[in-house]
Amino acid sequence: MSLRRLECGFIPLIDSAPLVIARELGFAREEGLDLQLQAQPSWSAVRDKLALGRLDAAHLLAPVPIAMSMGLGGMALALDALSVLSMNGNVVGVSSKLARRMADAGAPGDFRSAAEIGRALIRVCDKPLTVGVPFPFSMHAELLYYWLGALGLKAPQDLIVRTVPPPQMAEAIEAGTIEAFCVGEPWGSVAVARGCAELILPGAAIWNFAPEKVLAVRKGWAEREIEATSGLMRAVWRAARWLGDSANVMTAAEIMSGADYLNLSSEMIERTLQGRLLVNASGEERVTRRFIEFFDGAATFPWRSQAVWIATRLARRNGLDLEEAAAVARGCFRPDLYRTCLDSAGADMPGASEKLEGALDMRSPVASSTGEMYLGPDLFFDGRVFDPIVISV
């Protein structure tokens, strides 16, 4: 059988697993694809190579296609987010020195009390607080701005956000160029293992179910290459479903630990996939349910409401029109292509493409093509609810 070769860029993170599994377990080959995964040194490299046509598709930060489609970041090129690759999966960490000061100030060590932990951080940090994130247009940055902004720490006067590639986050903490970070696993755990940082929160404590990475292509590519697009989306969806089975965690960790991917111990990766994180050098463990999610709760569906949340946050910080930003975002996340390409795979489709974000405090049934879909919980730490229709306030 002749295979269609597809070049796909990724960053060595645990949330690249749907692409890795699609290749390594043969899901892509079964769809007639020779899926070539190219590890990249930075998110800017992924973005630029996708924009220039050197990649067909990419594992990309959820806000990047939206920001680019809005003309932000110096490269105005419209991208499509075909599906979501992962929900959650980030950690917030601080230097060991700052962690001790927080503990002395009575910060809870429960790894979930976002408001109390954030207030303790603000009380003891040097002003302004310097935080590392992997890219300016990222959920890492959006979660930090949302969390600390709601608690009174405003950028740029009180909060400086610097770009640090994920594998270099530990070195930046050790060098003192940043005091804290928000990064995708396993790079927070690597910093802990090196003894220079402690983890204080999972990203899920700020927003229970935040879109983290997406499968992105250039605008128009999917329609021109609909057969390849459908095959790629089906392969990745099947990989996500496989990852959603807890019986496969050990195998997934072993695959992801390989030299072509994370090149780290399978034990560290397995703990992350199970939401069991070592938060300090003393070996204290914290467990977070749904720390990272690949499939359950419609995790792969590109909700336009989540895109609008991201776009309006970007628009406010950059002085752009909210309604125009929302319109761009709705055209960027592509539930229409998701429905077209995955119907034959048996994917359960939600009855709507937008929803209230932050409204569910428990797992709840929703209308879907099979009547078997459950969503949530998806709360924001401060109890706010985002309505994608009412965005002017």
pTM: 0.96
375: nearest Cα among 292, 300, 287? 300
Q: What is the pLDDT of residues 90-114, one digit of tens each?
A: 999 999 999 999 999 999 999 999 9
Residue 187: per-residue pLDDT: 94
Q: Exposed/middle/buried for 285, CB within 10 Å: 0-12, 13-18, 19+?
A: exposed
Pinpoint the alpha helices (H) of 59-168: 63-69, 96-104, 114-124, 139-150
Q: Angle between the 266-273 and 249-256 helix axes, to the nearest 10 degrees?
A: 130
- The SS3 assignment for 65 reads helix
Q: What is the pLDDT of residues 149-200, one digit of tens each?
A: 999 998 888 999 999 999 999 999 999 999 999 999 999 999 999 999 999 9
Q: Which amino acid is at 118?
A: G
Residue 391: per-residue pLDDT: 81
Give the C-alpha separation, 91 to 183, whole Å.
Answer: 6
Give the C-alpha separation, 289 to 277, whole Å.
Answer: 11
Residue 392: per-residue pLDDT: 59
Please give the span between the terminal C-alpha atoms of the chain, in angstroms, as a whole number. 55
Residue 126: per-residue pLDDT: 76
61: nearest Cα among 38, 89, 35? 89
Give the C-alpha separation, 198 to 203, whole Å.
Answer: 14
Phi, psi angles (nearest 5°) of residue 61:
-55, 135
Q: Which residues of the chain have pLDDT under 70?
A: 1, 392-393
Enter the tokens of residue 333.
Answer: 């996340």
What contacts 56, CB < 8 A, 6 or more positions away? 6, 7, 8, 217, 221, 225, 228
Do you know the residue count of the chain?
393
Give the C-alpha separation, 291 to 59, whole Å.
Answer: 19
Residue 176: per-residue pLDDT: 95
Q: Give 368-381 as a DSSP string.
A: BSSS-EEE----BT
295 and 110 in contact (C-beta within 8 Å)?
Answer: no
Give the C-alpha separation, 306 to 15, whole Å.
Answer: 18
